[in-house]
Amino acid sequence: MNGGVNEVSMEGKGGVGGAVRDGEMGAATEAASVAAVSLEALRKRMADFARERDWEQFHSPRNLLLALVGEVGELSEIFQWKGEVPKGLPGWDEAEKEHLGEELADVLLYLVRLSDMCGVDLGKAALRKMEINARKYPVGQCKGSSKKHTHYGSTNSVSANDNVNTMNKEHNNGV
C-alpha cells in the first residue's frame, strides 16, 4: 500500500505488469472481475501495457524466464514454512490470501508474456499437453496412484516422434 492507494506490482524495470493503482484500469478491470479472463485477453493487455511503457526492449525470452523464476520463488516463500496446506487454505487470513493471489498473478502474467514472446499459443499448448498426459496416464491404470507414467509400461509412453507427428499434423491442418 502506498498512501492509501491500492497497488499491485510486478517488480523490476520492465516488469510485465508494473504498478496498477485503483482506477487506472477502470471499466476493463471491473468487466474482467465479472467474466472469465482468457489467455488471449491477458496476452493482448500485457502486450499493450509493455508497448505503452516502452518495455518491449526488456522483454526478451531470457529476461522474462528469469523474472518468472523469481516470481515462482516469491510464491514458494509463501508456503515455505507452512507445512502441508489443505485445500481452501483454512486458517489463512485475508491478507495472506491476497498476497498469494498477487504472487500467483505475477507467475501467470510472466508465463503468458513469455509464451507470447516465444510465439507459443499457451492455450493450445496446454490443451495439447493435457491430451498427451491423458495417453500417458490412462484412468484405468493410474487412478489413485502418484507413480510416474514409466511405471505403467511402454504402452502408455508418448515418444518424441509422436509429439512431432502430432505437431506436424496440426500444423498441416491449420490447427
Contact 109, 16 (CB under 8 A): yes
- Taking the domains of the chain in order of start, what are their residue ranges? 7-120, 125-172
Residue 126 C-alpha cell reads as 496446454
Secondary structure string (H, E, C) spanning 75-138: HHHHHCCCCCCCCCCCCCCHHHHHHHHHHHHHHHHHHHHHHHHCCCCHHHHHHHHHHHHHHHCC
Q: Amino acid identity of 15? A: G
pLDDT tens string, the chain, 175 residues long: the values are 333 333 333 444 456 554 443 445 555 556 556 568 999 999 999 999 999 999 999 999 999 999 999 999 999 999 999 999 999 999 999 999 999 999 999 999 999 999 999 999 999 999 999 999 999 999 999 999 998 888 876 555 555 555 555 555 555 555 4
Give the H/E segment covering residue 20: strand 20-21
Q: Find how far residue 50's CA is from the centre of its chain.
A: 18
The reported pTM is 0.71
Helix (H, G, I), strand (E, B) or coil at 8: strand
Residue 11 C-alpha cell reads as 517488480
**Domain 7-120 CATH assignment equals 3.30.390.30:** no
